[in-house]
A and B are shown apart, each in its own frame.
Chain A
Amino acid sequence: MDATTVIAVICSVVVFAGWLVLPHSATTAKQVALSEERNPVAISA
């Protein structure tokens, strides 16, 4: 196994293992205002 492969494996392990310790949901729930919601569009036949 050459040096490039060793470094690549370490990089991959860092990323994949990182997911184990990351939060699986938002730490704070935010109320998001639906300010952008638009009125329904009338579709005529």
Chain B
Amino acid sequence: MKIDSGDTAWVLASAALVMLMTPALGFFYGGLVRRKNVLSTIMHSFFILCLISVQWVLWGYSLAFGPDKFHIIGGLEWVGLNNVGFTPNADYAPTIPHQAYMVFQMMFAVITPALISGAFAERQRFKAFVLFSLLWATFVYDPIAHWVWGAGGWLHNLGALDFAGGTVVHISSGVSALVAALVLGRRLGFGKQKAEPHDATMTVLGAALLWFGWFGFNAGSALGAGALATSAFVVTNTATAMAALTWMTVSWWHKKQPSVIGAAAGAVAGLVAITPASGFVNVMGAIVIGFGAGVFCYLAIQLRERIHVDDALDVWAVHGIGGTWGALATGLFATIAINSAAANGLFYGNPKQVLIQLVAIGAAWGWSIVGTFVILKVVNLFVPLRVQEDEEILGLDLSQHGEPAYASINAN
């Protein structure tokens, strides 16, 4: 196998783009919380970037992509990047160094637990968050990544299509966020006091940086600099724009005004939904996927509000539902005209692909629910998941980190 310098350059650049998404997520979430919790919210993302970067090279990559064991997990042969060098790995990416593929995948493993942090914002104890994130990455993310992307993984063998992580990243994090919100309970004053976003400009900037980084997430998943990466880039941008337009229109109709935060959230929903489909659908499919993301994710937020679940930053609605819609839509609109190595979807004569996608969706939902619930209960045995009431009232910036975000403004 010969290393292709163009492919390698693109994948390394994409890894850097995806790395940027995690702090961008911190700013997206940070703008949505109250002033007294912004620093702790940004810290969740920044800390996970550090934590999973180390976990991944020590054992995460080996569990997710190492030699297959029983079609459910990778072995420990690649612990500490043993046997993961600069020679390409034919199973994953035959034209780039194996470590380039490893570091690209690392950035996916980093952002996934960071996404969950939006659900328990403003009330989770930092120490519990540290333990939860490490256990969740090891026992929920790594197995699901192996099922779908690992050589020999059972969903991979079944033919499930997930180009860049609709199932692995977004369903797993979105569903886990819902479980976390239910286990932790509602914030103090939930439903009585409105927790207004403290800085909408920060949120829009975060969404724009996420959009930018997502080109690496999706187009980088082609693992080469060519036509497939170009197609993934175009459909990513198209679906994102369509979802933002749709969300803004629906919220305009519902709330009588076009929401800026709504447009930003819609863009993120579109990015989520096109992720699993980005290497398999054409630009018309992307428009439909973006439209569906805008409608379904907005409706999911209305449902979440109606049943009084305090998923603080709507991770389930945007990532859980957006990822589920994207995974299902992949089974509808995939076409081998875009990716000859994949399969057609229902609209191109292959209804079986929808069933395969449903199996993958069900497996990701099931494992995320069970795994997250068990991990939260285990962590709670050692460290209380929530901060105390007075700490929550004071705000997590001061109570957990001893630092205010804005020194000159009273916390509130």
Contact = CB atoms under 8 A, between A and B. Distances in A.
B5 interface: no
B256 A27 contact: yes
Interface in A1-20: 2-5, 7-8, 11-12, 14-15, 18-19
A40 interface: no
A11 B242 contact: yes
Given A12-B287, A38-B409, A23 B245 contact: no
Summarize A's interface: helix, strand, loop or mixed.
Answer: helix
Given A11-B291, A38-B409, A4 B285 contact: yes
Contacts of A27: 256
Interface in B256-302: 256-258, 282, 284-285, 287-288, 291
Interface of B: 242, 245-246, 249, 252-253, 256-258, 282, 284-285, 287-288, 291, 333, 347, 409
Contact of B291 (A15, A19, A22, A23): A15
A34 interface: no
Given A2-B347, A8-B288, 17 more contacts: A4-B284, A4-B288, A4-B347, A8-B285, A8-B291, A11-B246, A11-B288, A12-B242, A15-B242, A15-B245, A15-B246, A18-B249, A22-B258, A23-B252, A23-B256, A23-B257, A27-B256
A40 to B, nearest CB: 13
Q: How large is the interface on A (under 10, 10 to 19, 20 to 34, 35 or more residues)?
A: 10 to 19
Summarize B's interface: helix, strand, loop or mixed.
Answer: helix
Nearest to B333: A4
B249 A15 contact: yes
A22 B253 contact: yes
Given A4-B288, A12-B287, A18 B253 contact: yes
A26 B92 CA distance: 53
A4 B249 CA distance: 22
A2 B333 CA distance: 11
Given A2-B347, A15-B246, A38-B409, A7 B253 contact: no
Interface string A14-45: 11001100110011000000000010000000
Contacts of B284: 2, 4-5, 7-8
Nearest to B257: A26
Q: Which 3 residue pairs of A and B lie closest in terms of their CB atoms, listed nearest first? A: A11-B291, A8-B287, A8-B284
22 contacts: A2-B284, A3-B347, A4-B282, A4-B284, A4-B333, A7-B284, A8-B287, A11-B246, A12-B242, A12-B291, A14-B291, A15-B242, A15-B246, A15-B249, A15-B291, A18-B253, A19-B249, A22-B252, A22-B258, A23-B256, A26-B257, A38-B409
